[in-house]
Chains A and B, each alone.
Chain A
């Protein structure tokens, strides 16, 4: 079945460091791919998305590129801030899904000043 595997955390970085959180997926056809962010005590917020191969999603300095050949959707940011500390979820919606989203296990990111 369809699945998402993402980098285990926690990940701790210093402010202004470069961030990569790895995400790979298994799915038939052409799923849509997402990154959601969850700040402490809050719901999930859509951070970015990509719906077809080679699409790049971007928002708030974060980027991720839909790589069909490597079945990956890695999240990157060039210079992280303390306010980026949160849990990040990679997710996919299968091409033929009747309203199902499949989440990775989440990666907790902590940024120290």
Chain B
């Protein structure tokens, strides 16, 4: 089945120690997103890639970076995790959209990040 895969499902890192979360997709979607979700609140968009074009949200801290080496893979790098960065990180994908078209987002299972 076509899907969005996130690894690992659970990640523990130490305060200030860089960590990388990964996402892959077999849907061949052009757009990939990273969200942060805390305590069953609505997911908060960090950034997204439209093909190779990176789009950062204005309020995403500089501590968060992303890479998309090819269509299938996207990485979230947290350079110096703080205790406040403990959260569920969700990857999502969607088809590219033209005017008048709308395409839903498909989410992976998430990575639960704990910062000690």
- Contact mask B65-108 → A, CB, 8 Å, 1/0? 00000000000000000000000001010101101101111111
Number of A-B residue pairs with CB-CB distance less than 8 Å in the complex they form: 59
**A residues near B43, Cβ cutoff 8 Å:** 44, 103
- Contact mask A80-113 → B, CB, 8 Å, 1/0? 0000000101000101111111011110100000
Verify if A77 is at the interface (C-beta below 8 Å from B). Answer: no
Q: CA separation between A106 and B94, bound complex, in Å?
A: 21
**A residues near B103, Cβ cutoff 8 Å:** 93
Q: How many of chain A's residues touch chain B, expressed as a range?
A: 20 to 34
Interface positions of A (Cβ within 8 A of B): 31-32, 34, 36, 38, 41-46, 49, 51, 87, 89, 93, 95-101, 103-106, 108
Q: CA separation between A113 and B43, bound complex, in Å?
A: 30
Q: Given A100-B45, A106-B41, decide whether A43 and B110 contact each other with a Cβ distance below 8 A.
A: yes
Verify if B31 is at the interface (C-beta below 8 Å from A). Answer: yes
Interface residue from A42, A93, A105 paired with B42 (Cβ < 8 Å): A105
**19 additional contacts, CB 8 Å, given A99-B50, A99-B97, A105-B42?**
A31-B102, A32-B104, A41-B110, A44-B43, A44-B92, A44-B107, A45-B107, A93-B102, A93-B104, A95-B102, A97-B102, A99-B31, A99-B94, A99-B96, A103-B42, A104-B42, A105-B41, A106-B42, A108-B40
Q: Tell me the nearest residue of chain B to A49, going by C-beta.
A: B104
Q: Given A43-B109, A99-B94, decide whether A32 and B102 contact each other with a Cβ distance below 8 A.
A: yes
Distance in Å: Cβ of A41 to nearest Cβ of chain B: 7
- Flag if B110 contacts A42 (CB, 8 Å): yes
**B residues near A99, Cβ cutoff 8 Å:** 31, 33, 48, 50, 55, 94, 96-97
Q: Tell me the nearest residue of chain A to B40, going by C-beta.
A: A87
Q: Given A38-B40, A99-B31, A104-B42, decide whether A43 and B104 contact each other with a Cβ distance below 8 A.
A: no
Interface residue from A34, A87, A106 paired with B104 (Cβ < 8 Å): A34
